[in-house]
A and B are shown apart, each in its own frame.
Chain A
Amino acid sequence: MTFHSRFTQQELPACKPILTPGWVISSFIFVGIIFIPIGLASLFASERVVEIVHRYDTDCVPASYRNDMLAYIQSNETNKTCTRTFLVPKQMKSPVYIYYQLDNFYQNHRRYVKSRSDKQLRSRASENDTSSCDPEDVTSNKSAIVPCGLIAWSLFNDTYGFSVNNTLLGVSKKNIAWKSDQQHKFGSDVYPKNFQSGGLIGGAKLNSSIPLSQQVDLIVWMRTAALPTFRKLYGKIEVDLEANTELTVVIENNYNTYSFGGKKKLVLSTTSWIGGKNDFLGIAYITLGGLSLFLAISFLLIYIIKPR
């Protein structure tokens, strides 16, 4: 029979799988055997990650302003500097990543996500391409804002300074943004212009002599988060932190999350092959592997007790 006629008669050689008990039991055993080690490995990796989470949004407001935190943050007069100390619970090998975590901040809101101009960010020639940037597109005299849009406008502007035993620790901003973003997405000839010059200041100002490709905080911020609670990389500490070291952080508490009740947290974390601290992956894999083995055994018993 030729290939063509086997095709037209629907009789091509075929594999017809059926779920025989043997197949079912071995596939469950297979899943169990594969998943449990993966789960153990990721759980182990997650356990080794040392993470310090420190919430400072309320604590950094002087007691006198606690009832009207908005007035505190919006005032130009108040002192925004705030010093916090905490212990390093376990040794943290370098690099120690510094994140800020915002809560209840909908970086994924449609109005927000759309309010950017990737063309403008990329090349100077498209500087006036601000049509998608409403309501932060142009200044009142119709001059384009670079970088335009709500995302850039609301750039996070708290800063952190770390010291151990009164020795300042250097915070490296190297490689905190994606290389691809720095090289291809944010132009090296695009300089900030008219930024934060409007009636309402949203956040950080940018040094207009540094091209966007070097504005790593902006680049990180512009990779908008997927979920309303998110972390963003602030920098790295390139030295090991020993256990029980007392770490002092000087926070410039500028960013206004008080108006919508958002929390601000500072996070220090080491890393592993699965990323940051996350037990879920490991637990899920172990549970699933265990369940598979349990099912395999159940089916085995059923077939032994009551064969078909």
Chain B
Amino acid sequence: MELHNNSTSFEISGASSRVQEKWNKPQRSRHKSVQFEEDLIHEEDPRLIYINDWRRTNDKYEFTGNGIRTSKYTLITFLPKNIFIQFHRVAYLYFLGIAALNQLPPLAVFGRTVSLFPLLFVLCVTAVKDGYEDWRRHRSDEVENNREALVLYAGQFQKKKWKKIQAGEVVKIYADETIPCDMVLLGTSDPSGIAYIQTMNLDGESNLKTRYARQETASMVLDVGAISGLIKCEQPNRNIYEFKANMEFNGQRFPLNQSNIILRGCQLKNTEWVIGVVVYAGQETKAMLNSAASPSKRSKLEIYMNRETLWLSFFLFIMCLAVAVGMGLWLERHKNQLDTLPYYRKRYFTTGRFNGKSYKYYGIYMETFFSFLSSIIVFQIMIPISLYITMELVRLGQSYFMIEDKHMYDSSSDTRFQCRSLNINEDLGQVRYVFSDKTGTLTENKMEFRRASVYGKNYGSFLIRADPLEENVHATTVEGRGQKLKSQIAIDNELMELLHKDLAGDERIAAHEFFLTLAACNTVIPIPTSSASCTESGLHEYVGAINYQGESPDEQALVAAASAYGYTLFERTSGHIVIDVNGEKLRLDLLGLHEFDSVRKRMSVVIRFPNDTVKVLVKGADSSMFSILAEDSGRNGHVRPATQSHLTEYSSQGLRTLVVAARDLTDEELSEWQCKYEDASTSLTDRSVKLRQTAAFIECKLNLLGATGIEDKLQDGVPEAIESLRQAGIKVWVLTGDKQETAISIGLSSKLLTTDMNQIIINGNSEDECRSLLADAKAKYFVKSLDCGSKYLKYKKDAEVTLDNTKSSTMPQQHSGKEEEMLSTSHALIIDGNSLVYILEKDLESELFDLATSCKVVLCCRVAPLQKAGIVDLIKSRTDDMTLAIGDGANDVSMIQMADVGVGICGQEGRQAVMASDFAMGQFRFLKRLLLVHGHWNYQRVGYLVLYNFYRNAVFVLMLFWYILSTAFSTTSALTDLSSVFYSLIYTSIPTIVVGILDKDLNDETLLQYPRLYGAGHRQESYNMRLFWITMIDTLWQSLVIFYIPVFIYSDSSIDIWSMGSLWTITVVILVNVHLAMDVQRWIFITHVAVWGSIIITYACLIAVDSIPIFPNYGTIYHLAKSPSYWLSIFLILTIALLPRFLFKVIRQNFWPSDIQIAREAEILGDQPDNLPSKSSKGSG
């Protein structure tokens, strides 16, 4: 079957994006309901579904209908609700507070309507955006709700709209249709009750999953009208991987699990039709309940920025206080004159009602207080609220360029870079620690069967270097996983020969069982691609004709390998397996299956052979298998040590190993097990624990058959990427579930570990052991760092001792042994999950932290998902350094959410990691470009953006402040109200956004060539306290210049307040734009348009406002423009204000240039710096 044809994939992507959209929009109310219902499960309050009787089903409880609503608003609720939600932001409350203050009569600084402008502007823009998004959700809801499905009504299937479907109803779905709600399968077109579904929309996995209708119901579906029964299931919850229920049907009672349920949003594939009963509908479906977003993160720079905003608030407070105190003192000094003072006139002098009363005067203290409040209104933009909006826009623009970057486009999987979080772009430029998953992240997670050890004999040893095969990989991977496996199994002829011998002799039987196990002990589904080829009996035709779909790539590789050796898995139903053994069909009854779980680390099947013997076939991780093998008997006495040494060999080559074993079951064992199994699998509570106990009952005293070695290929460019990251000063830690040897070998092949590193290995089995290991390592390390070389040999010896007392397996120590090299040797810490349990839970954390941070590389093996998060937290909570976690599987989700930056790889293990991530991409190697290029750019841009915005607003406010000091502290603004409002809204906003998105200091080539340039982010070169204070001092100087130069020029002149205001307006706008222009590093025409356009727009606005006779400032600009001293003042102010900054910049760049500056000059002047960043290689002037 061709899964990846164009038309379906187009459909899929369309549908998935819609669902994703829903997933992105969390709904608060739903969270609550989920929690509430989780409580219900604990109370064991099952949901009762009467099949084909929706009236009775809905009688007691009012279950949700199938209509969904992802939209937030209706036409009526839009305005109040949207405004209410918007005012949850502090920024808007600040705006509102200021606007409210301005409405008070004594404080009306600005015109009352004008003061509402900024708030209304922001509210409107956001409301339009929200409204548009909601309208789109309404439309998609509409489409979704009005789709039709066949519903059983009075014995016949009739079309019904989705939104009208209710729990308890029986629905029929045809192939390629989308499933409207969560349903328990009753029957399918397949007599054995199998259905295949694609869960792309739910978890992103493109392979088909099998779902079964219970045999009991599957046979009844032809007589649909007569179906009736009762399903007891758990209350709706979000877990898409679990479903617990049981069904009473025709007097029988049997369990249902997640393999019996099909979920909303999935598509039916490869199955003609299915019939199912609705259990969860609408908002209660698992797909809808899962539509919650990952917790939002805040960028570190923004946190620092908030710290500086506090400083700005402090300045604001000081200024307002100065004005208020000044006002108080001034009033006190003039209190006898106030009544008649022509420009104050405290009192009415008309005869009549008002005579003698005070006019807008409330006493000195109140006046002082009011003066404080009105200064807050005037100086409001000192707190750069607009910066938050600017930053959002800038990050949006930056994301656009990251998404569009063709160097981060993965052509093999057709995935572009995704920005799922818009808050932390600049964090990418400061990452210090990268925590990487191994499987699927560093490696491709495309498994290839490489080695086999059968009955103590090693096969496939020459294949490991089979280079012709390597070339095939690239040619075929593009076509999809199912196809790839067929063509790539290299066959060991010796093993093949063995299999063609008669079935006699221990070795031959072991080989037979070995491959039977590979073919049978899995959850892989064979799907014949065309029925015609099934009739042919040639081995190769089968291989070409069957597509294996499965959840685990390891299993697919094993099944494909078994097939290549003549054991072709041919058919799998819930009851039996058909295996084609060299042309003979072998039908095995499947009595039970214990799925793989992370506790047992193995899986087993119980099968009955045609000759009525019953066997249990087991495969699992070596650590979990050797302990349950039968005591060595004579028969396999040599097998065990031989296999173990083979395993060590495989591991050292970086292969993933599995141990295969089997045994016969006696009748008594079988019946006892069957009893337990039945009990466990029908149990509603603690099913997994009971199943595990049942499994343990038969998984014992096994006969060892052999072991397999599967190669997990490294992704393209991984070693290079890791090398670059390391040069950039980023520490790469690998956290993997694999065993130590595999992890180390992958570490070596990915250049993470080098042979000249000291490997410090921590794997203790108790707290004390871990403590002493840590202390030893630390002692050795610190001693060594004081006195290098001489202690090295001793250290090496100790390292070996460390190793020996922990594990039976021997570790190849990778030491160069050269004393002189030791001086620069770095350390690698290798620690396993067991030790981490003791270390992370106890007070040893800080010890580990000290040790780990002084090592260059840290490898953590056999770690559980939560431990991954624990390790990230170890660093995150103890340092200010930025952490990044990258992974592809569900087991990486916790780590991705914990880290400052979470990156998901769109890989083979589903989309959960991507859903939880902040950024997602197709390949690990893109991380290099993401951090070194985009991270660097974004950090530089946002850092500058923040400082510039602080400056831009502060210089304006300070200018107003100086003027207020010469107006008897009366908070007069020389600028017109409109100019004050437009200043940060229109006059100066666009250039900062454009520069924040488009400016770049260095080319990507340079940044990639010299990863050390990334250090600028680590050293916080673009944004730090020092820069903030320098900027503020510069701001102070510029504001003084801008205020006093016109005052000096126009002192003793007849200039009026509006002319002066107009001069100040235009000068401050030109000044901040030229200031920006001075710092722009890359001028493209858009930058020119934005910067110079802003000045032109300002002039246009001034001319427009001065052309309206109703304003007192009418005609000002026309009058001013005629006077030469106006123009001379502007030039004088610009030059004097910017001179110190320019001088500072020139001196700094020429005498103390930063690395970036050197690289930039080299890049532009075309020099090739040989030993950057040393000063000798500076570009010549």
Which residue numbers of A lie inside 8 Å of B, CB to CB? 5, 8-10, 12-22, 24, 31, 35, 38, 42, 99, 101, 105-113, 116, 118-119, 122, 134-136, 138-141, 150, 153-154, 178, 180-181, 184-185, 198-200, 202-203, 223-233, 256, 259-260, 273-276, 278, 280-281, 284-285, 288, 291, 295, 299, 303, 307-308
B813 at the A interface (CB under 8 A): no
Alpha-carbon distance A291/B1143, docked complex (angstroms): 12
Contact-size category for B: 35 or more
The residues of A that contact B1135 with a CB separation of less than 8 Å are: 31, 35, 288
Residues facing A in B1095-1140 (CB within 8 A) are: 1109-1112, 1114-1115, 1118-1119, 1123-1125, 1128-1129, 1132, 1135-1136, 1139
Other-chain residue from A10, A16, A99, A139 in contact with B1054 (beta carbon distance below 8 A)? A99
Known A21-B1150, A228-B966; judge A111-B344 contact (CB<8 A): yes
Which among B531-539, B689-697, B1078-1086 touches the partner chain? B1078-1086
B1132-1159 toward A: CB 8 Å interface, digit per residue (1/0)?
1001100100010110011000000000
Alpha-carbon distance A106/B1109, docked complex (angstroms): 25
The residues of B that contact A18 with a CB separation of less than 8 Å are: 1149, 1160-1161, 1164-1165
B338-358 toward A: CB 8 Å interface, digit per residue (1/0)?
001111110111111111000
Other-chain residue from B1048, B1056, B1123 in contact with A275 (beta carbon distance below 8 A)? B1123
Nearest chain A CB to B183's CB is how many angstroms away? 44
The residues of A that contact B1149 with a CB separation of less than 8 Å are: 18-19
Which among B148-156, B205-213, B400-408, B821-829 touches the partner chain? B400-408
Which among B1-9, B768-776, B891-899, B967-975 touches the partner chain? B967-975
Alpha-carbon distance A14/B1086, docked complex (angstroms): 10
| Pairwise interchain contact A109-B350, C-beta atoms closer than 8 A | no
Residues facing A in B752-802 (CB within 8 A) are: none
Nearest chain B CB to A190's CB is how many angstroms away? 13
Alpha-carbon distance A110/B327, docked complex (angstroms): 12
Known A12-B1085, A21-B1181, A119-B1110; judge A109-B1049 contact (CB<8 A): no
| Pairwise interchain contact B1051-A227, C-beta atoms closer than 8 A | yes
| Pairwise interchain contact B1129-A226, C-beta atoms closer than 8 A | no
The residues of A that contact B404 with a CB separation of less than 8 Å are: 8-9
| Pairwise interchain contact A185-B1109, C-beta atoms closer than 8 A | yes
| Pairwise interchain contact A106-B970, C-beta atoms closer than 8 A | yes
| Pairwise interchain contact B1111-A118, C-beta atoms closer than 8 A | yes
B100 at the A interface (CB under 8 A): no
B739 at the A interface (CB under 8 A): no
The residues of A that contact B354 with a CB separation of less than 8 Å are: 135
The residues of B that contact A122 with a CB separation of less than 8 Å are: 1109-1110
- Known pairs A107-B343, A288-B1136; list 19 more (Cβ under 8 Å): A8-B401, A9-B404, A15-B1083, A18-B1164, A31-B1135, A42-B1128, A113-B1057, A139-B350, A199-B349, A230-B1054, A260-B334, A274-B1128, A275-B1125, A278-B1053, A280-B1048, A280-B1051, A281-B1132, A284-B1132, A295-B1143
| Pairwise interchain contact B1150-A259, C-beta atoms closer than 8 A | no
Known A134-B360, A227-B1047; judge A106-B1128 contact (CB<8 A): no
Nearest chain B CB to A197's CB is how many angstroms away? 9
B998 at the A interface (CB under 8 A): yes
Alpha-carbon distance A43/B165, docked complex (angstroms): 90
| Pairwise interchain contact A110-B972, C-beta atoms closer than 8 A | yes
The residues of B that contact A203 with a CB separation of less than 8 Å are: 342
Pick from B355, B966, B974, B1057 the residue with the most CB of A within 10 Å: B1057
| Pairwise interchain contact B1128-A285, C-beta atoms closer than 8 A | yes
Known A42-B1128, A178-B1119, A185-B1109; judge A9-B1114 contact (CB<8 A): no
The residues of A that contact B350 with a CB separation of less than 8 Å are: 135, 138-140, 198-199
Residues facing A in B311-369 (CB within 8 A) are: 334, 337, 340-345, 347-355, 359-360
Alpha-carbon distance A84/B1050, docked complex (angstroms): 28
The residues of A that contact B1053 with a CB separation of less than 8 Å are: 230-231, 275-276, 278
| Pairwise interchain contact A181-B1114, C-beta atoms closer than 8 A | yes
B1045 at the A interface (CB under 8 A): yes
In the complex, 16 of the A-B residue pairs with CB atoms within 8 angstroms, ordered by the A residue number, are: A5-B406, A17-B1081, A106-B968, A111-B343, A113-B972, A135-B345, A135-B349, A138-B350, A154-B342, A178-B1115, A180-B1118, A223-B1058, A231-B1053, A231-B1054, A233-B1054, A281-B1125
Known A226-B1059, A281-B1128; judge A181-B1054 contact (CB<8 A): no
Which residue numbers of B lie inside 8 Å of A, CB to CB? 109, 334, 337, 340-345, 347-355, 359-360, 400-401, 404-406, 966-968, 970-972, 974, 998, 1000, 1045, 1047-1061, 1080-1086, 1109-1112, 1114-1115, 1118-1119, 1123-1125, 1128-1129, 1132, 1135-1136, 1139, 1143, 1145-1146, 1149-1150, 1160-1161, 1164-1165, 1178, 1180-1181
Alpha-carbon distance A8/B416, docked complex (angstroms): 13
The residues of A that contact B405 with a CB separation of less than 8 Å are: 8-9
The residues of A that contact B345 with a CB separation of less than 8 Å are: 111, 135-136, 150
Alpha-carbon distance A232/B1052, docked complex (angstroms): 10
Other-chain residue from A9, A199, A226, A285 in contact with B355 (beta carbon distance below 8 A)? A199
- List the 8 closest pairs (A to B, CB-CB), nearest first: A180-B1115, A140-B352, A154-B342, A226-B1060, A199-B349, A200-B349, A8-B404, A112-B343
The residues of A that contact B401 with a CB separation of less than 8 Å are: 8, 10
- What is the chain A residue whose CB lies nearest that of B352? A140
Alpha-carbon distance A278/B351, docked complex (angstroms): 47
Specify the main secondary structure of chain B where it touches its partner: loop
The residues of A that contact B1045 with a CB separation of less than 8 Å are: 284
The residues of B that contact A108 with a CB separation of less than 8 Å are: 966-967, 970, 972, 974, 1057
Alpha-carbon distance A199/B360, docked complex (angstroms): 19
| Pairwise interchain contact A150-B1083, C-beta atoms closer than 8 A | no
Alpha-carbon distance A14/B348, docked complex (angstroms): 66
Alpha-carbon distance A299/B1147, docked complex (angstroms): 9
Other-chain residue from A109, A135, A136 in contact with B968 (beta carbon distance below 8 A)? A109
Alpha-carbon distance A104/B1125, docked complex (angstroms): 25
Alpha-carbon distance A138/B405, docked complex (angstroms): 70
| Pairwise interchain contact B341-A260, C-beta atoms closer than 8 A | yes
Alpha-carbon distance A110/B1161, docked complex (angstroms): 53
Known A185-B1115, A231-B1052; judge A135-B359 contact (CB<8 A): yes
Nearest chain A CB to B1122's CB is how many angstroms away? 11
- What is the chain A residue whose CB lies nearest that of B1153? A308
Nearest chain B CB to A164's CB is how many angstroms away? 25
Alpha-carbon distance A185/B1108, docked complex (angstroms): 9
Alpha-carbon distance A29/B1136, docked complex (angstroms): 15
The residues of A that contact B1109 with a CB separation of less than 8 Å are: 122, 184-185
Other-chain residue from A135, A154, A278 in contact with B343 (beta carbon distance below 8 A)? A154
- What is the chain B residue whose CB lies nearest that of A199? B349
| Pairwise interchain contact B1049-A285, C-beta atoms closer than 8 A | no
| Pairwise interchain contact B1055-A225, C-beta atoms closer than 8 A | yes
Alpha-carbon distance A42/B1055, docked complex (angstroms): 19
The residues of B that contact A134 with a CB separation of less than 8 Å are: 359-360
| Pairwise interchain contact A19-B1056, C-beta atoms closer than 8 A | no
| Pairwise interchain contact A20-B334, C-beta atoms closer than 8 A | no
Alpha-carbon distance A26/B359, docked complex (angstroms): 61
Nearest chain B CB to A295's CB is how many angstroms away? 7
| Pairwise interchain contact A14-B342, C-beta atoms closer than 8 A | no
| Pairwise interchain contact B340-A259, C-beta atoms closer than 8 A | yes
The residues of A that contact B1055 with a CB separation of less than 8 Å are: 225-227, 230
| Pairwise interchain contact B1181-A20, C-beta atoms closer than 8 A | yes
- What is the chain B residue whose CB lies nearest that of A97? B1054
| Pairwise interchain contact A19-B342, C-beta atoms closer than 8 A | no
The residues of B that contact A284 with a CB separation of less than 8 Å are: 1045, 1048, 1132, 1136
Pick from B348, B351, B1052, B1125 the residue with the most CB of A within 10 Å: B1052
Nearest chain B CB to A294's CB is how many angstroms away? 12
The residues of A that contact B355 with a CB separation of less than 8 Å are: 140, 199
- What is the chain B residue whose CB lies nearest that of A51? B1052
| Pairwise interchain contact A109-B1164, C-beta atoms closer than 8 A | no
The residues of A that contact B1145 with a CB separation of less than 8 Å are: 19
| Pairwise interchain contact A285-B1054, C-beta atoms closer than 8 A | no
The residues of A that contact B1060 with a CB separation of less than 8 Å are: 226-227
